[in-house]
């Protein structure tokens, strides 16, 4: 049943992304910027994109699920959590890749005050990652929500580090971009 629901959600996300991607991006890319989009065939770039997509998805999941948990007095029903998870990926369409000096980075953001590359493959990629994260980690997410110590960071650690192994736990001195930030309260 869950697989059928998740598969349906994934198909709906893809359909929504393809419709959304036909719109003009909020900040259109020039041809030279399109050529500078992150190369997903590079394993390092791919891992960084996946790590950041996982963090963004978990951040959106946390916002949705923590408010549900609060409304239900700390004891939401499993089916309510699953329903909330299934609608989470639609909010992902507000994200784009941050631009630094006109070049798209590997960092997704929904902050409208900074330059971002949006639409097209960026939106589709993020929605696909979000759908996969939910489909593959539904039980992990539900278990995290039920914990008394449920936090955005604990959700990201459980999903992005322990389960998907897309992000590493590294110290700030390493200079790597694929770690969970120490203060990851709101990544915009």
**Is the Cβ–Cβ distance between 105 and 10 less than 8 Å?**
no
Helix (H) or strand (E) holding 1: none
Q: How far apart are CA 148 and CA 113, in angstroms?
A: 35
pLDDT (0 to 100) of residue 24 = 36
**Banded model confidence at residue 64, pLDDT cuts 50, 70, 90:** very high
Higher pLDDT, 120 or 144: 144
Question: Is residue 31 over pLDDT 80?
Answer: no
Residues 179 and 52: their CA atoms lie apart, in Å, by: 9
95-107: pLDDT as tens digits: 999 999 888 899 9
The tens digit of pLDDT for each residue in 135-152 reads 999 999 999 999 988 999
């Amino acid at each position: 049943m869950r697989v059928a629901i998740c598969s349906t959600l994934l198909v709906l996300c893809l359909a929504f992304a393809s419709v959304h991607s036909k719109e003009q991006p909020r900040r259109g890319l020039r041809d030279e910027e399109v050529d500078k989009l992150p190369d997903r065939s590079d394993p390092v770039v791919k891992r960084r994109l996946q790590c950041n997509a996982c963090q963004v998805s978990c951040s959106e999941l946390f916002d949705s699920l923590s408010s549900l948990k609060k409304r239900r007095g700390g004891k939401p029903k499993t089916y309510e959590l699953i329903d909330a998870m299934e609608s989470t990926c639609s909010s992902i369409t507000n994200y784009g890749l941050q631009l630094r000096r006109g070049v798209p980075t590997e960092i997704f953001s929904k902050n409208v005050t900074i330059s971002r590359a949006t639409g097209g493959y960026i939106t589709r990629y993020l929605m696909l990652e979000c759908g996969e994260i939910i489909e593959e980690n539904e039980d992990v997410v539900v278990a995290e929500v039920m914990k008394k110590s449920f936090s955005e960071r604990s959700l990201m650690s459980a999903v992005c580090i322990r389960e998907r192994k897309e992000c590493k736990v590294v110290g700030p001195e390493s200079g790597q971009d694929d770690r969970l930030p120490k203060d990851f309260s709101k990544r915009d």
